[in-house]
Amino acid sequence: MDLFFDRMTSPIGVLRLVWSGTAGQAALRMLDLHGDDGLERALERHYGPCRLIPAAAPPEIREPLEAYFAGDMTAIDRIPVDAGGTPFQRQVWAALRQIPAGSTTTYGQLAARIGRPSACRAVGLANGSNPVAIVVPCHRVIGANGALTGYGGGLARKRWLLDHERGGALPFTAEESA
């Protein structure tokens, strides 16, 4: 499978964007916050063998991300996504996209929302395997006690994204604060 790749600077660091298709018909496949090391392995683990081709991100992906970071919280809702996954994962990821910006939910609430109230752990695993961070907003899921829980991009980024969506983000620092 041929996939295209670009980097985009954001307030929370460099985003690595991976998509399939051409401009006007592109779909985001991965939004990575970890750096280029391991990106190809992560793509292969999620999608199987693929070839990564450097290219400029198409407007239907880049422009909504730029608008989101500029303050239009609903802009990311317009980004086409093709994240693969199992039917259950796709169901969880679709439910994540229904959580309004600035809001949070728990794993239990998300499990109930998809009609599987006893599947909290499975929802957590699906949430954690989401390849399209920010756009499929897994950062909006918190622990049952209201605490921020694990986030692949780090808790500092999760906190910043939630604060940003609520209109109160300070400049990002990767340092964890207690």
pTM greater than 0.85: yes
What is the pLDDT tens value at each position of the chain, 178 positions in all?
A: 899 999 999 999 999 999 999 888 999 999 998 776 778 888 888 889 999 999 999 999 999 999 999 999 999 999 999 999 999 999 999 999 999 999 999 999 999 999 999 999 999 999 999 999 999 999 999 998 988 988 888 899 999 999 999 998 888 876 644 3
CB 116 within 8 A of CB 106: no
Torsion of CA 110, 39, 152, 27, to 10 degrees: -30
pLDDT one-digit tens code per residue, 85-114: 999 999 999 999 999 999 999 999 999 999
Task: Please give the Cα distance from 73 to 102 (Å, whole number).
Answer: 8
Q: Does the annotation count 120 as an active-site position?
A: no
Q: How far is CA 30 from CA 18, 102, 156, in A?
A: 5, 22, 20
Catalytic residue among 138, 141, 142, 161: 138
61 closest CA partner among 13, 25, 36: 25
